[in-house]
A = this chain, B = another copy of it.
Amino acid sequence: MDKTNIKIKRYKNQKMMCEEDVVVCEHPLTFYINHHEFITLLCTPNNLCELAFGLLYSEGFIHHKDDVLETFLDVKEGICRIMIDKDIDIINRLHGKRVRTTGCGKGTIFYRMIDKLKAKKIKTDYKINKNIIFQMSKTLNQKSHLFLETGGVHASMLVKDNKTIAFSEDVGRHNTIDKVVGQAIIQEIDLKNTALFTTGRISSEMLLKTLKAKIPIIISRSAPTDLAVQLAKEYDVTLIGFARGERMNIYHDVKRVIL
């Protein structure tokens, strides 16, 4: 349940092959504490009861396992209801309501955003040559001076007409996308004819950020999640992972890659 098999196109040894690949599952889970909606996490669906206890403990809602009176978990519906032996209202005022995902605060809003995006596929004829993908993936690593020095950041880069037009590094994966999109906005560059290169894993949020910025192609040296692949297919965003050396996995869609 925490991983799933999908069909991908794998480019390796100068050949494109149809293969099966395993991607990690990313699943939204909304926590209700004493009937109050508390938080929505994007998480991997395993050890979810432990996640609930750990989250409540770390957030100061419980101090002992006996503070939890009841838990109800519906993974399919993405709901975890927890009854605790405490006045939630006081805690709510202390904490404020929060929404958390793998990388940034969206959660329930996340769904509304998907609704808003419906039928908003990016209309573009933009394509990218496989050699540019390999070359630019290398360029991204070479440009990442802050990573080379500290090891503590991610990097993103926008490519247009086979050239780097924006580059950024940040402790937050998502911030690197915002930074390069911001650079493009300031320069008034049409993002429909660009490709986004990133070092970060591609979660659903990374994919949504790409889609909302109307960038048709996202390429990472890391792995995507199943939800990101699903969204890429639904909204026709080209999603390429594990772009390293002269290899890559095309999760969707080979039509924008010139071989």
Contacts and interface: CB of A to CB of B under 8 A. Distances in A.
Contacts of A26: 171
A53 interface: yes
A179 interface: yes
A103 interface: yes
Interface stretch (A8-16, A55-63, A135-143): A55-63
A153 B24 contact: yes
A65 interface: yes
Interface in A208-230: 209, 212-213, 222-225
Contacts of A3: 146, 149-150
Given A104-B105, A105-B98, A153 B51 contact: no
Contacts of A178: 50-51, 54-55, 58
B54 A183 contact: yes
A14 B213 CA distance: 50
Contact of A58 (B57, B166, B212): B212
Contacts of A50: 166, 168, 178-180, 182-183, 186
Interface of A: 2-3, 22-24, 26, 39, 41-44, 46-47, 49-55, 57-60, 62, 64-65, 95-96, 98-107, 109, 146, 149-153, 166, 168-175, 177-183, 185-186, 188, 201, 203, 209, 212-213, 222-225, 242
Query: 3 closest Cβ contacts across the A-B interface?
Result: A54-B182, A50-B182, A54-B178
